[in-house]
Amino acid sequence: RKAPFQTVCTTSVLPCSFHPAAAAVMTKLRRTLPLTVAFCPSGSSLSFPRRPATCASLSDRRRTPSPSAPSCRSSSGCAAPGVFGGAARRSAAASSPLYSAAGCDQADPDDPSSFLFGILGDLHIDPRKMSDYITGREDWLPILHGAAASHGNVALVSLGDLGESKNCDHNPLLPTELFAGTTPCHEAAAEYLGSFGVPYEVIGGNHDLEGIDEFDSDEENLRVFMRSHGKPTPQFCRLVAEKTIMVGLGSTVFREAKYTSHEVIIDEEQIAWFEEMLQKHPAEDGWKIFMFSHAPPNGSGLRVLQENHVVNGCCWLNHSDEANCRRFIELVREHRSIKAWFSGHFHLGQDYQDSITFPSIPIEEGPYPNRGSCVFAQTSVMRSGTSRDGRQQSRLLRGNKDGFEICTVDHQKGGEVR
């Protein structure tokens, strides 16, 4: 926390795509932070279930093991790192053409503390327009599989808004039905995210409960969303290494929103769970937490769209609830274990100066514009038709016991990593 920050100009985007069989329905700144991270590798087969399990809490993993790989558990109850790891995988990494060609995981293949996450912004899948997704996935595969062959601590995260909010010729019986939030939408997204060949996590965005013609309530819509992705709860947590976890919070309200249906609302139950989780995993004990949500917290300092999200009350998490809107940045300031927070929602590229923001003042000088020990990072989109500024980008998070890097993957430049 006290070490000086090092800022590096960088921008990169990873294209994402998937096998055609699934298509039927289906920065400018980079920051290196000083961290101390130690991971526990675990050997297993590269085979994995289509949807890796999520956990409602660190003590309740609810993991569905791979048919070919035993479930790995830590003392905290989360699935342990190294789903693809182990000495055999790491020893093979040096000769792996995927690993060497990707050039994006620069950690020692024998270092069990290494990890790598792929982070995808708003997908807005349209089953009629899959080429950008196919291209994007092919750009990701060398990166993800190279890291999987090296150290095994790999995961993919989707930040929500999985389907296009328009009719996509998906339901001949109801030609006016929106694709977003429907059963075919969530099944297509699960098929796509599962096709990357690594475990994935997903959280709900403001369009993921938009199946208003198919479902009568948010609860019914949410159950289908969670069932499609094997989620026991709207949130997730994943232990990726010793003292290092991923946490995601998902929107659970659409029809019942007080002001606008497109506000990203984290319900009280999730907030209570989040607060308890933070209290049990303090920075003083060496914990590092990487956060994921569809919209950013107010106070993050990220670029927003005044004329769209701000004026309509759907810009930040729990935008219309002043107390809960403010609560997230207060938790970031209070809990220095939160090291980075990734969000999407705005469909903006990652090349702006305020596409990523950094901790600004020491803890003793708070509160404003105190961002704790957290780096906030905006995540762009993959498909050209969903971009507001023409950029097609994703985020890459990689690190080890010495720190981590936030990079851009440029889908318009063959998956170039910057």
Does the CA dihedral 399-402-408-411 come out positive or negative? Answer: negative
DSSP 137: H
- Alpha-carbon gap, residue 144 to 13, rounded angstroms: 14
DSSP 141: H
Q: Which residues of 373-408 are buried (b: 16+ CB within 10 A; e: fewer)?
A: bbbbbbbbbbbeebbeeebbbbbbbbbbbebbbbbb
CB atoms near residue 101 (< 10 Å): 11
Residue 216: is its pLDDT beyond 90? yes
Which token pair is 164? 């296009």
Report residue 12's pLDDT band, with 50, 70 and 90 as the boundaries: very low
- DSSP states along 310-373: ITTT-SSTTTT-HHHHHHHHHHHHH-TTEEEEEE-SS---S-SGGGEE---S-GGG-STT--TT
Mean local confidence (pLDDT), 359-375: 79
Report residue 304's pLDDT band, with 50, 70 and 90 as the boundaries: low
Predicted pLDDT at 87? 29
- Alpha-carbon gap, residue 181 to 267, rounded angstroms: 18
Q: Which residues of 114-136 are buried (b: 16+ CB within 10 A; e: fewer)?
A: bbbbbbbbbbbbbbebbebbbbb
Stretch among 5-9, 176-180, 261-265 having the lowest mean pLDDT:
5-9
- Alpha-carbon gap, residue 349 to 389, rounded angstroms: 7
pLDDT higher for 29 or 259?
259
Q: Which residues of 206-231 are buried (b: 16+ CB within 10 A; e: fewer)?
A: bbbbbbbebbeebeebbebbbebbbb
- Alpha-carbon gap, residue 265 to 255, rounded angstroms: 12
Q: What proportion of the chain, given as a percentage, has pLDDT over 70?
A: 69
pLDDT higher for 135 or 305?
135
Predicted pLDDT at 75? 30
Most trustworthy range by pLDDT among 2-16, 268-282, 377-391:
268-282
pLDDT digits (tens, 9 = 90+) for 147-163: 999 889 999 999 999 99
Contact present, 194 and 50 (Cβ < 8 Å): yes
The two most distant CA atoms of the chain are separated, in Å, by 61
Predicted pLDDT at 390? 84
DSSP 33: E
pLDDT digits (tens, 9 = 90+) for 106-137: 556 667 778 999 999 999 999 999 999 999 99
pLDDT higher for 35 or 227?
227
Instruction: Strand 236-241: give its sheet, edge to edge.
Output: 236-241, 244-249, 288-293, 338-343, 375-378, 356-357
Mean local confidence (pLDDT), 250-260: 87
Report residue 348's pLDDT band, with 50, 70 and 90 as the boundaries: confident
Mean local confidence (pLDDT), 20-34: 31
Predicted pLDDT at 259? 80
pLDDT higher for 95 or 402?
402
pLDDT digits (tens, 9 = 90+) for 52-107: 333 333 223 222 322 232 222 233 334 443 322 232 232 333 333 333 333 444 55
pLDDT higher for 246 or 68?
246
Which token pair is 3? 């070490």
Predicted pLDDT at 305? 61
Q: What's the Rg (C-alpha) of the chain?
A: 20
* φ/ψ (deg, to 5) at 395: -110, 145
pLDDT digits (tens, 9 = 90+) for 261-270: 778 889 999 9
Contact present, 381 and 348 (Cβ < 8 Å): no
